[in-house]
A and B are shown apart, each in its own frame.
Chain A
């Protein structure tokens, strides 16, 4: 399949390049731009990024494969990145991962047959105080997971809506 950037994308890319004294630093942001547009950065997209920035294909491939958030292959429409690292492990992260796997009938790393959901087990997402938690398709964090909350999230996503940003209030200190 051939992928292309339109004029609007190319304008954005020029703006990105202006932030740095060289072209190479634009690699990460332009890969992001490509992934947000195409939903992934498969090898053909990596080549498009390389040719657009006039950088070696091998360089862009090397970068794309180093960072976990770039999807090197097509994923489901919604990717559920479930954290199981340390604090999430302690607070039931694996229970949540298992519940999601059972509910969707797939294992971590797989995608449902209808292409709606992928599930991934991921490393610390920096929400340790709000464990267990997951991130939806490199976007919103869903914190303090319970089975009910997972059910509701999956319904929301099936309805084509995005989960809302969860503002976590600063805990008030009780002065004893």
Chain B
């Protein structure tokens, strides 16, 4: 299905099926059939490697923001040696503008559980942990209930479907820290520590949870595995944009009439998402700017959006990224200085403090932007901000510094007039 045909797309992750969160309803709709097939149909799925190859061929680009091929990531796991191996499912969902995985927890938790179980089988994993941000306490309870139900039916636990494959599945609650969405920080948090990202290498596939091979995948990524098994890699890779295929959960927020999470093919034009899907701009205002995939992805001006679609190639051409597909839509009344200051405030608050360029850099960005917001800034402060961003990017253990630097650099460059207008006029004595 091409992106242009998005109006005819039937959702697979969050279809409009009543009570799909209940395990019996999920099973009636074919649920846990994919898991049964990979475990028991030895003609079609000779072993775990076949599953990895199918998922690799589907090219599920990680939906947590980095966009890495999930099957390829799975293939980095070393051969099983009979000792524990882990799958850590990332439901931390904390990037401002992102609110999609909670829809899976609420409306279709079993598609995620089934996808995680298939992933675990494919990588010969012995324990699965799903890490959910602590604020999502209602969804943590829903997920625990869904896991308990799946245990009761024998889809999790010892000898699943009478095979020799066994796996355990646990819920772990966060407690309020954006950084724990970074995969190695999440591992630290799961191990009961402060969420300090780890230096890589070693990568988690070599040395993850408790020093054992671990793979980390986003919730939506794992949920997509089920339809890849049921319908085939070619079905998945034939949907939407060629290099970023498959259905995507678009979370649309900000100044639109119908904000919310929509499941559509990748590659839908940004303007269609705003005007047709999300009901157009609120109060008949003009569109001013769009942040396409969470607060760290560079903002686009309205005049940059013609022909731009939500896939990694199209977005790269205009200097931004797909991120989490959490789109933030801003109207003509939006004060870009205020918005950027608030984003900088967020990253300063959330920096874990391990690396100096990030700990200090995020603070400087926020302080200087506050000065400009209050009308106390000078034009040279804008260049100072840009200079700080180059001193932060790529100089830290994890990508939080980059995530803080990009919006500052690109918002200033793309709305320079607005920032200069807020600065004090430069007055130089000439004699």
Seen from chain A, the residues whose Cβ lies within 8 Å of a Cβ on chain B are 19-22, 24-29, 31-32, 59, 62-63, 66-70, 84-87, 89-91, 123-131, 135, 138-141, 165, 167-168, 170-176
Contacts and interface: CB of A to CB of B under 8 A. Distances in A.
Contacts of A70: 175-176
In this complex, the member of A24, A91, A123 whose beta carbon has the largest number of chain B beta carbons within 10 angstroms is A123
Given A69-B175, A126-B136, A87 B328 contact: yes
Measured as residues with beta carbon below 8 angstroms from the partner, the interface class of chain B is 35 or more
Given A90-B255, A165-B138, A129 B261 contact: yes
Given A67-B134, A140-B138, A90 B334 contact: yes
B210 A22 contact: yes
Nearest to B258: A171
B277 A124 contact: no
A67 B176 contact: yes
Contact of A68 (B176, B189, B252, B326): B176
B26 to A, nearest CB: 16
A4 B195 CA distance: 28
A69 B94 CA distance: 14
In this complex, the member of B107, B191, B334 whose beta carbon has the largest number of chain A beta carbons within 10 angstroms is B191
B320 to A, nearest CB: 16
Interface stretch (B115-123, B159-167, B217-225, B336-344): B336-344
Interface stretch (B69-77, B97-105, B306-314, B416-424): B97-105
B96 A87 contact: yes
Given A29-B173, A69-B135, 8 more contacts: A21-B84, A28-B172, A67-B174, A86-B328, A86-B342, A90-B330, A124-B178, A138-B137
Given A124-B95, A138-B134, A140-B138, A129 B252 contact: yes
Contact of B94 (A89, A91, A126): A126
B56 interface: no
Contacts of B102: 126
Given A84-B342, A86-B343, A170 B176 contact: no
Contact of A24 (B99, B133, B191, B352): B191
A128 B175 contact: no
B194 interface: yes
In this complex, the member of A86, A141, A170 whose beta carbon has the largest number of chain B beta carbons within 10 angstroms is A86
Nearest to B260: A171
B334 A29 contact: no
Given A129-B99, A165-B138, A123 B178 contact: yes
B295 interface: yes
Contact of B193 (A63, A126, A127, A168): A63
B140 to A, nearest CB: 10
B251 interface: yes
A176 B107 CA distance: 26
Interface in B167-199: 170, 172-178, 189-195
B16 to A, nearest CB: 7
Contacts of A21: 84, 210
B242 interface: no
B276 A126 contact: no
A131 B193 contact: no
Contacts of B90: none
Contacts of A172: 16
In this complex, the member of B134, B251, B279 whose beta carbon has the largest number of chain A beta carbons within 10 angstroms is B134
What 5 A-B pairs come out closest when comparing CB atoms?
A69-B176, A67-B175, A68-B176, A27-B192, A128-B253
A127 to B, nearest CB: 6
Contact of A170 (B103, B255, B259): B103
A85 B254 contact: no
In this complex, the member of A63, A85, A140 whose beta carbon has the largest number of chain B beta carbons within 10 angstroms is A85
9 contacts: A66-B194, A67-B134, A86-B96, A87-B96, A123-B350, A129-B252, A129-B260, A171-B262, A173-B277
Contact of B195 (A19, A20, A66): A66
A126 B260 contact: no
A126 B133 contact: yes
B107 A170 contact: yes
A173 to B, nearest CB: 7
A28 B173 contact: yes
B175 to A, nearest CB: 4
Contacts of B203: none
A62 B136 CA distance: 23
Contacts of A25: 172, 190-192
A80 B261 CA distance: 25
B114 interface: no
B93 interface: yes
Contact of A91 (B107, B178, B252, B254): B254
A108 to B, nearest CB: 13
Contact of B177 (A66, A130, A131, A173): A66
A67 B343 CA distance: 20
B367 interface: no
B68 interface: no
